[in-house]
Amino acid sequence: MRIQKISYAPTFGYNKRLNKQLNQKLDTAAPDDEMANTIRNLNNYCNSTEELIRTSKDETEEDDFLNAFLSPKYTLMELVDIKYPELNYPKREQKSYLNEVPKNYDPEDIPWQKVAADEFAIFISEDVFSDDEDVQFFINQNSKTEAKPITKSDKITNVISKIAETPEIVERFQPTFSSPKGFESLGGMHELKGELYDKIIYPATHPEEAKQDFAEYGKRSPRGIMLYGPPGCGKTSIVEALSVESEIPLFKLKVSKAGSSYINQTSKNYEAVFNYVAECAQMLDTPCFLFIDEIDGLAKGRDGEATSEDLKQMSTLLNLIETARDRNVIVLGATNKYDIVDDAIKRRFDAQVYIGMPDDETREEVLKKTLNKWLKGVPLASNPNDLKEIAEKLDGFPTSAIVILADKASDRARKDHRRNIVKEDFYDAIENNQNLKIKEDNYKEERKRTRIGYSRG
């Protein structure tokens, strides 16, 4: 029996919707969840091996790849079915492969999707692992690291769980697989990273040296920093990377839920959040970040139309930010509408940092980091000349749009017989998505500010 090589360019046999659902669940798993990490590694391997099957032009080589694909795929299906039974993963995968098998084919030339689907059917009818001990043995054998001790994140969770009540309008940031891994995840922004380290990370993580700096130079511990600029340029990612880099717990205030139609309730909500984060800082004996994204929604400039309730809410917020430093809370704010934020609120932050559109170097670094995540993107990521040309054409696009355009370029390459991603794929994506550009002048102050977010040094 020969495995037939299908002449058309098919889509992946795996169910894309199912694969997305699986990745969403993996993204919410704890970083030290060994089963989730094993599933993630197996899934990446199976997807890459399947691509080798599809692109192979040699029948013998294709057979070898298929054999290398099936065994890990059995294990992947078993582990996913144990950890996430609600996905019904094995049967949905088998159905997806069967749907791709051509209706008419020579019985002597069996499509490889049919071979895989038949093997999956046998697998589904059997119990590969006899009990949970076998599953744990497999995970221990295939995990890249040995069993991990209790992490700092676990300790923080244990301490915080002892606090009686968590306000509904605050949530703790816990890094996922797709979260920034620290400053190394941010392309460019060298000057900004240096300032954040000097103003926040160093004094927060070296309290004795910070006390000496205050005694000798009057340099106080940070009260907070406000990031502002065009949307999609990485303000939220910077805050999350700062938390990971410094290992300082980060809490986010849910601005959309902070307001209330009841008199005094909004002010009480503000107080509850700050008190909660301050209590966490006290119990953990470490500073804590409180991030207020879209702070303009809470702190618009006061004018003649402001009610007494508006003024009271603003006064409460001003006082809470003013006293946050003494409670070991560092307030981080972000806004796309800097001009409408109340001037008194701005003055409560140690610095207001403009995060502008990415410069040439940053665009290149973002492209390189994005492309290196994909098997078919690595060759382009290793070509500095092509990266430079693409980065020049991306002038005017925010960071988030660059990632979107990379996805679109990848889709174009995939549809073209799964070739490597090339610069022409980007040129096509750029030409057809000019609407993603942003006019930066709409987000700047009237007076010119230094582009502290980016530098070439």
Non-local (6+) Cβ contacts of 313 within 8 A are 266, 267, 270, 298
Whole-number Å distance between alpha carbons of 157 and 147: 19
362 CB burial (10 A radius; 0-12, 13-18, 19+): buried
CB contact at 8 A, 8 and 71: no
Look at residue 238 in the predicted model and tell me its pLDDT: 92
Q: What is the pLDDT of residues 67-103, one digit of tens each?
A: 778 878 888 888 888 888 888 888 888 888 877 777 7
pLDDT tens readout for residues 376-386: 888 898 999 99
pLDDT confidence of residue 240? 92
347: how many CB neighbours lie within 10 A of its CB?
Answer: 12
More confident of the two residues 292 and 417: 292
Longest dimension (CA), the chain: 85
Q: Among candidates 33, 137, 125, which has minimal Cα distance to 84?
A: 33
Domain boundaries, the chain: 2-142, 152-354, 360-440
Give residue-wise pLDDT tens across range 96-129: 887 777 777 766 677 777 888 777 776 665 444 4
Residue recorded with tokens 């230094």:
450
Q: What is the mean pLDDT of residues 381-410?
A: 90
What is the DSSP pairing of strand 250-253 with strand 170-172?
antiparallel
Q: How far apart are CA 200 and CA 225, in angstroms?
A: 9
Coil, strand or helix at 242: helix
Evaluate whether 205 touches 146 at the Cβ level (below 8 Å).
Answer: no
Give yes or no for a contact between 371 and 406, defined as CB atoms under 8 angstroms apart.
Answer: yes
List the one residue out of 224, 253, 251, 457 whose CA is nearest residue 361.
457
CATH architecture group of domain 360-440: Orthogonal Bundle (1.10)
Q: For residues 267 and 274, what is the distance between their CA atoms, to the nearest angstrom?
A: 11
| Residue matched to tokens 């399947």 | 50
Dihedral sign, Cα of residue 237, residue 276, residue 32, residue 286: positive
Q: How far apart are CA 290 and CA 275, in angstroms?
A: 11
Full-model pTM:
0.61
Give me the CATH code for the 152-354 domain, please.
3.40.50.300
